[in-house]
Amino acid sequence: MSQRTCLSVILAAGEGTRMKSALPKVLHQIAGLPMVAHVVRAAEAAGASSQALVIGYGADEMRKAAAKFAPKAETFVQEKRLGTAHAVLAAREAISRGYDDVLVMFGDTPLIDADALMAARFRLAEGAAVVVIGFRPPNPTGYGRLIEKGGKLTAIREEKDCSAEERKIGFCNAGMMAVAGAHALKLLDAVGNKNAKGEYYLTDIVEIARAQGLDVVATEASFESALGINNRIDLAQAEAVWQARRRHEAMLSGVTLIAPETVYFSHDTEIGADTIVEPNVWFGPGVKIAGGAKIHAFSHIEGATIASNCDVGPFARLRPGADLKQKSKVGNFCEVKQAVIEEGAKVNHLTYIGDARVGARANIGAGTITCNYDGYSKFFTDIGEGAFIGSNSSLVAPITIGSGGYIASGSVITESVPDQALAFGRARQKTIPGKGKELRERLASAAAAKKKAAGADH
What are the catalytic residues?
Answer: 349
Residue 367 to residue 309: CA distance in whole angstroms: 25
Residue 446 to residue 448: CA distance in whole angstroms: 6
Residue 390 to residue 348: CA distance in whole angstroms: 12
- Cβ-count burial of 170 within 10 angstroms (0-12 exposed, 13-18 middle, 19+ buried)? middle
Strand runs labelled E in 189-232: 216-220
How many residues in total does the chain contain?
458
Residue 141 to residue 167: CA distance in whole angstroms: 8
Closest CA to 229 of 19, 12, 20: 19
Residue 8 to residue 4: CA distance in whole angstroms: 13
Closest CA to 54 of 46, 62, 42: 62
Measured at the alpha carbon of residue 420, what is the angle toward residues 415 and 426, in degrees to the nearest 5? 40
Per-position b or e across 247-266, b if 16+ CB within 10 A of its CB: beebeeeebebeebebbbbb
Residue 233 to residue 19: CA distance in whole angstroms: 9
